[in-house]
Structures are given as C-alpha cells and as structure tokens.
Structure 1
Amino acid sequence: MTAALAAHNRGLSCVVIEAQNRYGGATAVSGGIVWIPANHVLKREGSSDTPELASTYFDATVGERVSKARRDSFLQDGPRMLSELEQASRWFRFHWAKGYPDYYPELPGGLTEGRSIAPELLDARELGGDLPLMNPPIATMALKGLSITPADFHDLNMLTRTWRGKRAIFRVLYRTLKGKVSTPRLTAGRALVGRLRLAMRDAGIPLYLSTRMTELVTTREQDGTERVSGVKVERGGVESEIIARRAVILASGGFGRSQELRDRYHPAPSKAEWTMSPEGQDGDGIRAGLQIGADVDLMEKIWGQPSTLVPADGSDDLRVQFLHIDRASPSTLVVNGEGKRYYNETAPYTEFADAMYAEHAKGVAPAVPSWMIFDQRGKRRYMLLRTFPMSRFPKSWTDGGYVKVAQTVEDLAAQIGVPAEQLKQTLQRYSSFARTGVDEDFGKGESVYGHYYGDPTLKNPNLAPIDRPPFYAVAVYPGDVGTKGGLKIDERSRVLTADNRPIPGLYASGNTTGSVMGDTYPGAGSSIGAAMVNSYSAVLDIVEGNQRASDADTTAARA
C-alpha cells in the first residue's frame, strides 16, 4: 500500500493484488506501531532524536550484519517517506508513542523515551464497505471486546497498582461504549491499515482481493538480460496476466504459515501453529523470486515472540497468546525442563526467542517448550494472559491443562515434568532477589525497556516474590509475529541474485525480504517501519531508473 501511494504521488499507475479475500496482512493484526528514527512526527512533538543519534543506535544494534548502504538508506528514506505521505493524504496521521523505550536504550544512541510512532484512532465508518474486507483482530489479541491501543495495555497492566492504571480503565470503557453507541474507532494495526486503504481509495488505486500470483513473468531484453515484466495471477478460477511496464514489487509477507519452509530453514522445532501470521503467509513471493534466480537472506530468523497456546473463546481451536507483557511482570519467571531459569525474562521478545533456541540446542534440558511460572499474588495484581487482575482464567484453559494450577510447588513441578526440588530452589532464589531488588543471575529489571511493563511501586519494577499459592504454569513456545528472512535486496529494495546482481524489474518489501534489522529488533514497530521504507525506496529507484533510461534515450537521439 505504501508503494502504491508513493508511485501515485509520482504520476505512475499501479495496482495492488492480494491473494486472500481480506486485505491488511500481518499489519492489520499487529499493534500498528512504526519505528522510523528522526522523523518529523518525533521532531514536531519534542523528541530529542537526531539523524546522528539514530545512526549511532542503528549501528550499535544492527551492526555489520546488514550493509551500511542498506542501513543508511533506511535512515534517510524513512523520514522522507513519512513526511511525503502525510502531506499527500489527509488520512496519514501519527503521534509519538512517547515513553515506549527503544529495545536497547542503554546502547549508544538509544532513547529511553523511544522513537516509535502510532497511528491516530480511525472512525471505522469512514471505510464503509471496505471495513468488513479488512483482516479482523485475532481472537487471543482482543480483550473482552474493548477498544484498546498498545498504550492502553501498558496502563491497564497497572490497574490495581497505580492511579494511571485506574484512569485507563475509565478511558477505555468510555471509548468502547462511545464506539458501540455512535463512533466506532479502529485502533492499532487496523487503524494504520484503514488509513492506508482510505488514502489509496482517494487516489483511485485499484485493490484486487482473492487474486493469487502464480508466477513472475520475464522477458528477454535486447542485451540478453531477463527482466521481470509482470505477473501471472489466478482469480476466481481464471488465469490471467498483469503486465508491468516498469516493475513488480513483491510485498506478500513471509512464510510463517508454511511448515515446509520452516522445516527447511528454521532451527528445530519450529511450528506453523506458533505464528501470529495470518492465513496466506506461505512464502509465495519468496518462492517466485527463487524460481527466477533470486538469493535469500536471514531465512533462519523470526520476529520472535515467546507465546503460549490456549483455546480461543467458544472454540476448541488453539490460538497463539503472546507473553510480551507477562514476561516483564514482577511475578513471573521462565524455566527450562530442569526447572532452572536461563535468561533475562525482560529481554526484547526476539532476543528471548533466540535464547530459547540457544538453550534448547545445548541438549542439557529442553527449552522448547519452556514454562512460565507465577503465583496468586501476580494473578491478583497484574494482567496475565490478557485477563484482568483478580479475574479468573477461562474454565476451558484450566480444565484443558493449558494453564496448570497447583497449591504446592511440588504438585506444579509434577504437572509440568520438572524436578520439584530444583523448581523450589529457583523460586526461592528469585524471591530473594525481589527482596533486594537485584537479579544477580540474569539482570531482570536492569534495563529501562523492561521497566515499561513493570510495576513502578516496587524496588525493582520487574521483581516480586513468587511464594503465594496457588501456583500457575503455562508452556512457552518460540512463537513469532512473522518470519524475518526472505529475498535478498539492496539499499534500493532491488532483488539480488547470489552474485549480488539486481534482477531487472523486481523489487521486494517487508517480510518478503531479509530484513534491514538483521538479527535484532531495535524498537517497537521495526518490522512495519522496515516494510514501509522498503516499499518507498523501491518506488524511488523505479522513478530514478526510468529517468536515467529517458536521459540515455535523449542522449542517444541527439548523438
């Protein structure tokens, strides 16, 4: 969608095709946060970020895993893209998610105030008939039907602990009731996708749903090179061909739903049911690129998000439940199959998922799954598994064994299959750290990032004793919001071959590519930010390439 709008702004005609019968992809079911440093929204709202600070931080986090040319292109094109789209369309409106820290704020250039921006809430009525065609929220991401933003989740977690948390519940209830009576509001990823769709609609850009690309079309140029000149598609059982006069941009998502590709590229075990990727994220765009000689990068990586599996409301189907807020809770810890902690629970989610695989690969004790342990104090105080403090877990979760419950540590250990004495020692040691405020083993609570979902009333916002029965446990899997590897691209989003030659006419964006974020996740919204900038950079190159060709033709004619 970003590419289509950027192309339209430059006078190019374009069409967006979507294989599924709904639009929005993974973005629609996400938090909708965008991480693009040193942009005009941050500057307008008083952020201390600068291009120099951003470059320092990007180098410190991503480093040499990604070329300097790609890193620089992201930092330069990102702010330009946001500014252009906001000026071109009345629908592009963002605000600074102030206070949501960079994920590594202590590294050089990191900001404790954060660099993430969020879309303004959107009146759902503006979309009209396009609203039911957007990807719906995922059942386990919803919270009792409430209209909630990512910032609301932060505040509601402290519902029983701070006045800010108490004010948040009234704010959310008011917004939800108002939405039911008069003005329904879209939040998070659906607000972002809705704004993109409205901008496309104003621009008259066609969007074809249920239109699956089956193959890239290539033609041989006069110099003998193969150029991508269109796509073959299947729609309603009818095959046809769409000719691209200038280029094709693949933005078809990753391969989170393809067990075949996960088995081929990911560390084991890796299950498609652990992903939050929506249906259709099967790697079709990546496969199409491979068929014409493209190379791939970062295929072993995921946008990791440690998760558990629980039945969706009113269904026996298991759904992914992220444990992002939960791991930072003072009253939770994560253990392996020996009942031992092995990593800082407040580490950024992609880093923690990588740590799970690293621990599992040691072969000493299984870490896939691991187990998240908490007690009744934590259940009463904090939002865990997206249930409100002091509320009960759904009966289907406890009766089905998805949430283990025990009156003693010994009984809990038996239920999850870990040594009882070791689990008891782990809980006692963790509780002793809570009393001193220092996690001597893994540093839980040392980073400002971890404090964001912690309890500000405690000595260490991320540490509290775990000693009050009943005790609870849930299995933890290395889930993901999507895969991170894909077609190898350069700083202009051109798809590359194994010898780093661009494939003429072919560009790629987002999770269809090996991410510019490399092995890491610098801040909230990195995946969406990268996708939007990839798309914009591609359009810039398409236009500049056409201009170079036009100039060359003019020079030849004059000669």
Structure 2
Amino acid sequence: MHKKTDLVVVGYGAAGIAAAITAARAGAKVALLEKQSADTHFSSSRMSGGLIMGANDVDGATRYLDQCADGMIQTEINRAWAERAVRVREWLESVGIKSVHMAGAWYPKFDGYDSIEVLAPLPKGTEPEDVEIELPKPGELTFKFPLPFGNGALLHDLLLEAVAKEPNIEACFEHEATKLIQDGSRVIGIECKTPDGEVTIDSRYGVVLSCGGYEKNQDMILNYLKAYPIYFYGSEANTGDGIRMAQSAGADLWHMNQMIGRGVGHFKHPDGWETTMGMSLNPPGYVILDKYGERFANEHLQAVSKPNFYYELLKYDADRLEYPRIPSYWIFDKRRLEARPLAHGGIGYYPWSKDNRTEIDLGWIKEADTVEEVARLAGVDDPEAAAQSINAYNEYCQSKEDPFGRPEDSLVPIDQPPYYCVKIYPGGATTNGGPRRDAHARILNAHREPIPGLFGAGELGGAIGLLYPSPGSNLGEAIAFGEMAAETAIRDGSQ
C-alpha cells in the first residue's frame, strides 16, 4: 500500500503528539504512527508520573540546564528548551489541559535552580485554585505516587482527546516503522509493517522520530550502558527502532550511555514472566547494603526519587573484579512494611498489593526474625556484616549524625521485627541516548550537518545530559522538542 501525507510522526507519546498537533494546526496533514495497538498503547508518557518540567525564566533555566548537562548538551540546545519551557503551561492549556505547580528542580546548589517549575496535569473540571499544594523541600520529591489528581495515565488520556479534535491528524496504530525512505540524503517518507502488509508513506516535510529509547533492547543495554544487568520499567515498545532507522540514514549518535536512573526492583514470577518496579523507600526506616553487607551511600537520595543515586550503584571493584552493588539490598522492618506498598504501579504495571503480603508469598520480599537471617535469605554474602551495619545505623539514629549525610528526619531505627529485604538493581524509566539533534530538533549526521527531512523529539536522543534536571524533565523536553520538530520540518520543507 502506498500513501501520501505532509508529515510523518513516528511514536504516539507526548513528543509525537506535540509534533502532530503543532503541524496540524499549521495546516499540515499528519500521519501519526504507533506500532502498538490501540488496546495495548502503553507509551512512556502514559506510564510516567505525569509531571512536566516548566520554567519561569529563560536565562536562569538555561544556566541550570547547562550545569545539569555537564557539557553533554550544548548551551544553544538548552536555551531552545528553556524558551519552550517558559511557555509549556500555555501550550498545555491550548490543548485543553490545566495544570498546577507541583515541585521544583532537583539540585538547589546549581545556579538557576529557582527558574524551574514542575507542573502536574489536572482532571477536567478541576481548577488550579481548587488544589492545595505544599511544595516539597528544595531538591526533594516528597509527595506520594500515584498523585491524587494527576498522573501519566491522565495526561495520556487528555492528550489523546486533543489529538482526536484535530481533523488533520490520522492516528495509525499497528504501524511499525522499519525504514526511512531517502532521495539522496533527504528523508522523504517511511516504510511500515502492519497487520495488512507493508505500507509506504511519502511525506512532503519529512519524518519526526519520537518513538522512545532502547530500554527494552537487551543488546543495546549491554553495549551502551555502564553496567549489567540494568532493568527498566516502562513501555515494552521502546526497543531502539528509531535509533536504528536514524543510523541507517546516516545519523550521528550522542550520550548513548545516559539514562534516567534510580534503584529498582526486578522480580521473577513463578509462572515465568518478569517485572520491574520503581521502589518506594519512604517512609523512613531503611538502609541499602552492598553484596558484602556494607552501607555505601546516602540512601535518602533514592528515598526522595532523586535520579543521581543511580550512579552510586554502578561502582566497579577493580580488586574483586565485580560490581559489588549489583544487586544491592534494601533492609527495613515491620513499620515500613505496614506503612504502605513498597512499589508504585499504575497503567501497564504489575498491580502491587496494598499490604505487600502477596509479594512476600511470591518470595520477592524476604522475611525473617533477625537482620542476619533476612540478609542470608536475600543472598547477602556476609549476613553478619549486614547485621552489624544495621546496628551501626541504629546508633546513628540515636546520635542524629550519619556518616553518609542523611538528614535527621530520615534517621528512623530499624529495630521492630520481623525484618525484610528486597534486592535493588540499577535501572529506571528510560534511556536518553539516540540520534544527535540541534537546537531546531534537526537530526545531524556524523559531520554535525542536518539530515534534510529528519527530526527528533522526546527520549529518542533526548536533550538530557549527566543529571536529570527535575521531576518531569522527560515530558517537558518531549513537548518542547515535539513542537520544535514540527515547526522546523514545515519551515525547512517550505523553502
């Protein structure tokens, strides 16, 4: 089958939707392709927390993003993002989504920190003034998931409603993009596989790739990331398709070793399937130990969902010739178990039990009357050292002074049996690497020249470097570069 359109957008998440709506409102006909079916459409956006990074000052946000990127992203690209970030609330309202300021940036020590404002979408009929928000402490994310009023599933549904109102957008499910079509170096269309056979789509303005990262491609994980194993929750559809297509068209790649990382739980069910979950250490009364039963970092960073804790898990021991923190071991007591679920799920995730008992029965949470025994059951190499580490931690709780720098209010003793242990692995939501792009969302070749007719947005080569700037950075970046990609495609294609 052969079709024609003005712009092809590959990937039906926030980035693709922003690109499609922007192009459609400029008068372009858009084919919005998604390889999943409508019934199993679990984009990264839908499975996210639903928060969106915005900003209140372009210069301040640019400085802050520069420091987070640590040289991996050029200043002109960070500025292009910041210029969109100050208007993201306006863009959301333009597609019928109201939002509320929910949190700030992760790193208060960086200049421009206070220029970042994290937004949460509101259900229809809810006004911002109807919602009471107590902003978290600087650099923390202290509210609980799922949010009481907004999350990724809500954002996804609201964005799909916005797409449905645009007559110029044709949403094409079960269209797996396989190859870019080029005339010389210019991208002029795409080939797809569908249940009805192969489809070729010619595109007047080219192709926007917004089809996610490679977090479900084990070969890419092994070859590009810094350790192994690393496990991801999120969309099963993100298998690096866009990266391979862009490479075939001559694209350069950047920061392929970067990801939105944190400690995660990875579990195997007796029926043979596996699942990865983000784990909720809070409320306090927790430590994380290495294979040898030793503490190694400030666990509070993981407890408040700060992505930089992930780097602590990647240490390689050159003497032992191993990664002693893969896995690590989260130890806690009865109080934490009974407080609330250990994992937050949502649309597309395993439905974790409210009292954690199902997961104890499955063997995912080990339980014992002593710390030494629970460490042994979990697989710690030196259970006695684990017990000594917990005793030392409890003494720090008494003195309110922790050698790893945990804040006082996080120092709650682990002293009420039974005791519990869960293995923690490096992992997270998404990868960041992919085809290199410029400040206009154009994908570049190995000579840093734009490939005509090829554009990128979202986590596929996302503009996020060493540190994840704030909660909602992925979605904020996706919307910003989705808009940008569509505008550039139409402008360049009209010349």
Q: Does the 8 A contact of 1:336 with 1:365 survive in 2?
A: no
SS in 1 for 2:459: helix
Structure 1 spans left out of the alignment, 5+ residues? 39-49, 124-148, 158-167, 173-185, 221-225, 446-459, 550-559
With over 3 angstroms needed to count, the CA separation of the structure-2 counterparts of 1:115 and 1:82, relative to structure 1, is: closer
Distance 1:469 1:94 in 2: 43
Hey, what does 2:234 align to over in structure 1?
277
1:345 aligns with 2:299: yes
With over 3 angstroms needed to count, the CA separation of the structure-2 counterparts of 1:534 and 1:427, relative to structure 1, is: same
Q: Does the 8 A contact of 1:495 with 1:503 survive in 2?
A: yes
With over 3 angstroms needed to count, the CA separation of the structure-2 counterparts of 1:61 and 1:361, relative to structure 1, is: farther
Hey, what does 1:322 align to over in structure 2?
278
Q: Does the 8 A contact of 1:150 with 1:188 survive in 2?
A: no
Letter in 2 for 1:37: A
Q: Does the 8 A contact of 1:213 with 1:233 survive in 2?
A: yes
1:310-459, aligned counterparts within 5 Å? 310=267, 317-323=273-279, 325-326=280-281, 328-347=282-301, 348-359=305-316, 363=321, 366-381=324-339, 383-386=341-344, 392-395=355-358, 397-415=359-377, 416-440=379-403, 442-445=404-407
Hey, what does 2:20 align to over in structure 1?
4
Q: Does the 8 A contact of 2:104 with 2:116 survive in 1?
A: yes
Distance 1:122 1:211 in 2: 31
Hey, what does 1:133 align to over in structure 2?
none
1:86 aligns with 2:93: yes
Hey, what does 2:14 align to over in structure 1?
none
Letter in 2 for 1:335: L
Distance 2:361 2:91 in 1: 53
With over 3 angstroms needed to count, the CA separation of the structure-2 counterparts of 1:484 and 1:155, relative to structure 1, is: closer
Displacement of 1:151? 10
Aligned counterpart for 1:210 among listed residues 167, 174, 183: 174
Deviations 1:489-510 (A, max 9, x none): 1111111111111100000111
With over 3 angstroms needed to count, the CA separation of the structure-2 counterparts of 1:503 and 1:121, relative to structure 1, is: same
With over 3 angstroms needed to count, the CA separation of the structure-2 counterparts of 1:150 and 1:211, relative to structure 1, is: farther
Distance 2:306 2:143 in 1: 20
1:256 aligns with 2:219: no
Distance 2:188 2:89 in 1: 29
SS in 1 for 2:373: helix
The alignment's C-alpha RMSD in Å is 2.9
Distance 2:226 2:134 in 1: 31
Structure 2 spans left out of the alignment, 5+ residues? 1-16, 126-132, 346-352
Aligned counterpart for 1:37 among listed residues 31, 55, 58: 55
Deviations 1:196-217 (A, max 9, x none): 1111111111101001111100
Distance 2:336 2:317 in 1: 27
Task: Point out the more displaced range, 19-28 or 375-384.
Answer: 375-384
With over 3 angstroms needed to count, the CA separation of the structure-2 counterparts of 1:354 and 1:281, relative to structure 1, is: same
1:159-178, aligned counterparts within 5 Å? none
Q: Does the 8 A contact of 1:246 with 1:542 survive in 2?
A: yes
With over 3 angstroms needed to count, the CA separation of the structure-2 counterparts of 1:285 and 1:343, relative to structure 1, is: same
Question: Which structure has greater helix proportion?
Answer: 1
With over 3 angstroms needed to count, the CA separation of the structure-2 counterparts of 1:433 and 1:484, relative to structure 1, is: same
1:463 aligns with 2:427: no
Hey, what does 2:158 align to over in structure 1?
195
Hey, what does 1:457 align to over in structure 2?
none
SS in 2 for 1:511: coil
Q: Does the 8 A contact of 1:4 with 1:14 survive in 2?
A: yes
SS in 2 for 1:73: helix
Distance 2:465 2:425 in 1: 22
Deviations 1:403-448 (A, max 9, x none): 11111122123222332332122112222222233322x2123xxx
- Specify the structure having the higher radius of gyration (Cα): 1
With over 3 angstroms needed to count, the CA separation of the structure-2 counterparts of 1:8 and 1:385, relative to structure 1, is: closer
Aligned counterpart for 1:75 among listed residues 60, 76, 82: 82
Letter in 2 for 1:337: K
1:105-254, aligned counterparts within 5 Å? 105-111=108-114, 115-122=117-124, 187-204=150-167, 205-220=169-184, 226-254=185-213
SS in 2 for 1:282: coil
With over 3 angstroms needed to count, the CA separation of the structure-2 counterparts of 1:432 and 1:296, relative to structure 1, is: same
Distance 1:393 1:409 in 2: 19
Distance 2:317 2:175 in 1: 41
Q: Does the 8 A contact of 2:225 with 2:258 survive in 1?
A: yes
Query: TM-score, normalized by length of structure 2?
Result: 0.84
Question: Which structure has greater strand proportion?
Answer: 2
Displacement of 1:360? 6.0
Distance 1:521 1:231 in 2: 32
1:96 aligns with 2:91: no
Letter in 1 for 2:194: R
SS in 1 for 2:163: helix
1:516 aligns with 2:463: yes
Letter in 2 for 1:542: A
Distance 2:396 2:116 in 1: 28
Hey, what does 1:526 align to over in structure 2?
473
Displacement of 1:464? 0.5
Hey, what does 1:472 align to over in structure 2?
420
Distance 1:96 1:19 in 2: 33
Hey, what does 1:180 align to over in structure 2?
none
Distance 2:246 2:384 in 1: 53
1:485 aligns with 2:433: yes
- The size of the alignment, in residue pairs, is 453
Query: TM-score, normalized by length of structure 1?
Result: 0.75
Letter in 2 for 1:94: S
Aligned counterpart for 2:37 among listed residues 3, 21, 26: 21
